[in-house]
Amino acid sequence: MRRRKTAIFFLILGISLSVLAVALNIGWILLNLRQVVLLVLGIIFFALIITGLILNTIFLIREIRRNEQHDAFINSVTHELKTPIASIKLYLETLKTRDVEPEKRREFYEVMLADADRLLGTVDQVLKAGGTKENLPKPAKEELDLAVLLKECAATVRTQRKLDAAVLRFTEPAEPVRVVGDRAELKTAFVNLIDNAVKYSPDDPKVSIRMKKAALNRRVEVLIKDNGIGIPPADLKRVFKRFYRVPGRSATQPGGTGLGLFIVKSIVERHGGRVSANSRGEGSGSTFIVQLPIV
Ligand code: ADP
């Protein structure tokens, strides 16, 4: 009887201990599971927070950069608008208050007309750069002799900037190259590139314009090379962005809005082409290459 009681006691003890062990085990597993779940959740939330912070920082840096560029843009556009207006005003005041000789008067008119052209040019650039791909009309599809067009562009820059014939050198291609496109748009793009080549070559500019067939004669490359201030390697792509002007040059850099190359890029791309810049760095000149499909 005592043995039975003892057996029951030990049985109960055994069962109780087993239940306790199982409960402890399950409890331990449950507790740890909670910790593991908490750990995993913690890691996920931590990763999410870190990703969010990184994205936020990138966004803020971009926003700050964009704001800086907008400020620089507003400053340069204001400058580009103010200078010719101030000049026209000065000439008009002189004409109003003084008796100016006819020859001088004609000279004044010429200067005022040039200033008005400069104003129109800036306004035109701002309007063109404001157009998005959707709201721009499709470019005309005219067959054009590229050499003739390039010579016209060179002549325009020569007249606008009153350059000697030796400054712009155009190399005639061996045979005519024809492209399909919008004459006015392509002219805007090439005049911009040639004008930049002269504008960013302060001492004795020498600009060469030549054409080269590429991609098994299916494309033509127009190379516009100057001996000017050059472009640092990091900026070779950025110069095509809207408002972008190479920084740290404010003292030496001539006036501008940072829109020209952005307009050039969008025109060239609308014609199925590509544009890129090459330069060995500051002071080593630059070459702009426009690639267009040949008819
Ligand atoms: P803008 O001339 O009005 O500043 P662009 O879009 O035409 O605007 O050019 C953007 C920037 O690229 C210029 O501010 C200049 O720093 C640089 N750049 C363009 N063309 C040349 C060039 N031929 N040589 C050196 N730098 C150039």
Q: Which residues of the chain have pLDDT under 70?
A: 1-4, 7, 132-135, 250-252
Distance, CA of 242 to CA of 76 (rounded, Å): 13
Which among 133, 130, 268, 258 is positioned nearest to 187, based on CA atoms?
268
Q: What is the pLDDT of residue 28?
A: 81
Nearest CA to ligand 1 atom 2: 256
Tell whether 150 and 276 lie within a shared domain: yes
Contacts of 240 (CB under 8 A, 6+ apart): 261, 262, 264, 265, 275, 277
Domain limits for position 258? 142-293
Query: Which ligand 1 atom minimizes the distance to the CA of 226?
Result: 23
Using the Cα atoms of residue 149, residue 155, residue 161 and residue 165 in order, give the sign of their dihedral: positive
Indicate if ligand 1 lies below 6 Å from the C-beta of 188: no
Q: What is the pLDDT of residue 193?
A: 97
Angle at 243 between CA 249 and CA 153, to 5 degrees: 85
119 alpha carbon to ligand 1 midpoint, in Å?
19
Structural tokens at position 163:
């350059």
13 alpha carbon to ligand 1 midpoint, in Å?
91
Nearest CA to ligand 1 atom 19: 196
Residue 105 is assigned to a structural domain of this protein: no
Tell whether 19 and 158 lie within a shared domain: no
Using the Cα atoms of residue 251, residue 255, residue 257 and residue 263 in order, give the sign of their dihedral: negative
Torsion, Cα 260 264 265 270, to 10 degrees, reads 140
Q: What is the pLDDT of residue 134?
A: 65
Tell me if 175 sits within 8 A of 141, measured CB to CB: no
Residue where a domain stops, chosen among 17, 35, 70 = 70
Tell whether 286 and 150 lie within a shared domain: yes
The domain tally of the chain equals: 2
The conformation of residue 235, written as its DSSP 8-state character, comes to G
Q: What is the pLDDT of residue 200?
A: 94
Q: What is the pLDDT of residue 45?
A: 93
Residue where a domain stops, chosen among 48, 70, 92 = 70
Q: What is the pLDDT of residue 61?
A: 93
Query: Which ligand 1 atom minimizes the distance to the CA of 192?
Result: 7
Residue 228 is assigned to a structural domain of this protein: yes
196 alpha carbon to ligand 1 midpoint, in Å?
6
Tell whether 51 and 154 lie within a shared domain: no
Residue 235 is assigned to a structural domain of this protein: yes
Q: What is the pLDDT of residue 8?
A: 77
Query: Which ligand 1 atom minimizes the distance to the CA of 285?
Result: 24
Q: What is the pLDDT of residue 4?
A: 66
SS3 state at 231: coil
Distance, CA of 219 to CA of 231 (rounded, Å): 26
pTM to 2 decimal places: 0.78
Residue 47 is assigned to a structural domain of this protein: yes
